Amino acid sequence: MSAQRVDDDWQLRSACRGPQAAIFFPPGTFERKADKLHREAQAKEICRTCPVRQPCLDYAVSIKEQHGIWGGLNEAERKNLMVMA
C-alpha cells in the first residue's frame, strides 16, 4: 500500500520531476540575486507548460510552503496571493 494520498497524484505528472528539480529550490549556499532571478525564471518556464500547475500551486498555498517555486510562483508571490485572498 502506498503512503501517498490520492489527492496528490498530480505530483506524478508534474513537469518539474527529474534532474531539473533542483532549480525549483534555492541552493544550500549563498545565491546572488541575479543568479536567483535566473534560476527562478528557468523554473517558472517549466511551470508555464506544466499540466498540473494549478494543483501544485493550490498545494503550496494550502500548506503555506515557504521555499521554492510551486505552481509558477515563488515564495513572495505566493504570500501576496494569500494576502489578497
pLDDT tens-digit readout, 20-45:
899 999 999 999 999 999 999 999 99
User: What is the distance between the alpha carbons of residues 32 and 85, in angstroms, rounded to a whole number?
Assistant: 31
pLDDT category, 5, cuts 50, 70, 90? low
**pLDDT at residue 83 in the model:** 76
DSSP, res 65: -
Are 23 and 47 within 8 A, CB to CB?
no
Residue 4: pLDDT over 50? no
Are 27 and 43 within 8 A, CB to CB?
no
